A and B are shown apart, each in its own frame.
Chain A
């Protein structure tokens, strides 16, 4: 059984550990800084970038505001083209459907295209419980799978591993899963890629069933789109007899023409390329070319709950490019695992709490995993105002309020741990409204400044653990002003 996200600690605890890992920080720094500069270059080539971005946001908003309409259209067109559409309200149902479909083929192994959504629902573990082995075929997913690890980045799930770690994982674990690593494998990226090619080739050639996600689903034509680099996607989408695609309902776009926007926005934002090496599109099944059976599993799993929040629903525009991760100062230092879900970084901080609901200390902590610097919003190709949603979710955590969980409107209570903060904010508000009290307090603090602790005692400790308390000056501004009237003392 591979590792799961179940029981992950809240962000500050996990981040405190990962931020102390110097190898991890060095790997992340190298990778994110490399891609940052390249992305900026790729984006600068298109002088209509802002207009593409606005169009990309608007098309997604149109889709989301009429999602029922577009899903029905999609279902009709996929079915007409020879596919079968299934609907899964949650992870357990999606896993049941996929397991059943694989079992119906009589096969006991599947090859997989990298897919965020199957990570989200824990499909590999569900298949394993049913005696079905799932082989990850994306290079980074393979590194994660062989290393019994968790993904830490949307585009490059093994971003936390440097080349020498990857070589060690290949040498040690490839043999457990099939063809062993070549003798004398070096840590040159080209050699590592060659090792993956040899290891996976035999699996591609014998695979009868593949599982994929999709980047886009076109409602008016029933077409699915997968954008990739390595060719593992093409292998999975064309060689097996049966293809099962599990896709979040928000991946729908209305028209074929809409792809002209996203196929410009996505590669440049994601891998900083004018175009990624391979893009596959397919509509149902094609006689004598590719899978004979195509199943589309449409997944909700918290997406409709997210849709119910008028501020938070913009998170569903996300096209999973990972540009926001690559520019985020918090992600760069904390790493992806601290976010406790397959969706790390700024987008994860707003997506995970909405998909799962504010149901545990982890989800409650995620909206605070940000300095609100706004770099994520700047680079987002579909203009998701991540800082705005973060603040909105913080308010929900601290004050409680109405939210939707599994389709039911619920009023949640303020989260524990923020009681102290709320009390302090109330007190502060009162003091600032009462100048005499403020003056007395400031004079008292100035006199006692040497004796004041650097950390708060009791329940305030958690708050001061992660913050530097300000130095108390020997004299307050008000006293200084009264004494000097702004002239030199």
Chain B
């Protein structure tokens, strides 16, 4: 094998490649029927589909989120700011958790009641070390009610993608006041494509055996979502 295909990000491997020109040339010949004056935006795209499916009060949206999360076998809990540390402590204790992975920016106080050894995420925390960790507790960027989805964007209260993947138990806290949207279109407009995103809808699952859904393959097999109502500040 030669380095002609640019095994590294070497300069020149991009623009001088003959296959690039060949493919672009083939595309242009294949599209001879497209008028040369046609701009991409000239081809119409009807966007008359709905922004949300149904209208709901904020409370109804949170209820729908809870229903849809439960439907895909996530466990849903509700609490307020004062009750959160005790709830988290209880969830971790019930699971028998001794070590818990946490993002560097987990809000202070969340784990004060829990008798666990926190393992703070950092670039030096290896996948092998994470494999020995029992649980992970994070916040999230957003949740979608209509699909029962929580979305992580690697923010300070979420950490790197691997910490919510390798441990078998994920507790994810959703601040209901400003993190719940109704629909997929509403979610996308609030997310930044520049950040690595993980959309999570229930625990890991598979439909690969006789096209029937079974929970639990490689990702966390237990997903607990805490819907947090914060005090007015």
Contact = CB atoms under 8 A, between A and B. Distances in A.
B48 interface: yes
B140 to A, nearest CB: 14
A290 B216 CA distance: 23
A100 B201 contact: no
A288 B160 contact: yes
Nearest to B216: A193
Interface of A: 27, 30-32, 34-35, 45-48, 51-52, 54-55, 58-59, 61-62, 65-72, 75, 79, 81, 84-89, 93, 96-97, 99-101, 103-104, 130, 137-140, 143, 155-156, 158-159, 162-163, 166, 189-190, 192-194, 196-197, 200-201, 204-205, 218, 221, 223, 229-232, 234-235, 237-239, 249, 254, 256-257, 259-261, 263-264, 271, 273-283, 286, 288-290, 293, 298, 300, 304-305, 307-308, 310, 313, 404, 407
Contact of B50 (A48, A67, A256, A282): A48
Interface string B125-152: 0011001000000000000101111000
A304 B210 contact: no
B108 interface: no
Interface string B15-39: 0010110111111111101100011
B201 A277 contact: yes
A163 B201 contact: no
Contacts of B93: none
Contacts of A162: 210
Q: Which of B2, B144, B193 has the most A CB atoms < 10 Å from its CB?
A: B193
A277 B204 contact: yes
Interface stretch (B4-12, B76-84, B94-102, B111-119): B4-12
B228 interface: no
A190 B19 contact: no
Q: Which of B5, B49, B185, B209 has the most A CB atoms < 10 Å from its CB?
A: B209
Nearest to A46: B53
Contact of A277 (B7, B162, B202): B202
Q: Which of B46, B128, B161, B220 has the most A CB atoms < 10 Å from its CB?
A: B161
A162 B210 CA distance: 6
B232 interface: no
B24 A68 contact: yes
Given A280-B197, A281-B196, A238 B162 contact: yes
Given A65-B43, A221-B194, A230 B162 contact: no
A106 to B, nearest CB: 11
Given A89-B22, A232-B218, A275 B199 contact: yes
5 contacts: A55-B47, A100-B2, A190-B216, A230-B205, A277-B219
A230 B217 contact: yes
B210 A27 contact: yes
Size range of the chain B interface in the assembly: 35 or more
B208 interface: yes
A232 B24 CA distance: 34
Contacts of B127: 204-205, 239
A79 B12 CA distance: 12
B53 A238 contact: no
A256 B24 contact: no
B40 A62 contact: yes
A61 B160 CA distance: 37
B48 A34 contact: no
A137 B148 CA distance: 26
B56 interface: no
Contacts of A305: 26, 30
The 3 A-B residue pairs with the shortest CB-CB distance, nearest first, are A231-B219, A231-B218, A104-B7
A259 B217 CA distance: 26
B218 A230 contact: yes
Interface in B33-65: 33-34, 38-41, 43-50, 53
Contact of B31 (A27, A67, A237): A67
Contacts of A264: 184
B85 interface: no
A96 B1 contact: yes
Given A89-B22, A139-B209, A193 B162 contact: no
Contact of B43 (A55, A58, A87, A271): A58
B207 A271 contact: yes
A193 B7 contact: no
Nearest to B153: A281
B200 A277 contact: yes
A281 B205 CA distance: 19
Contact of B201 (A45, A58, A75, A275): A275
Given A70-B40, A156-B207, A275 B217 contact: no
B196 A45 contact: no
Interface string B146-171: 11110000100000111001000000
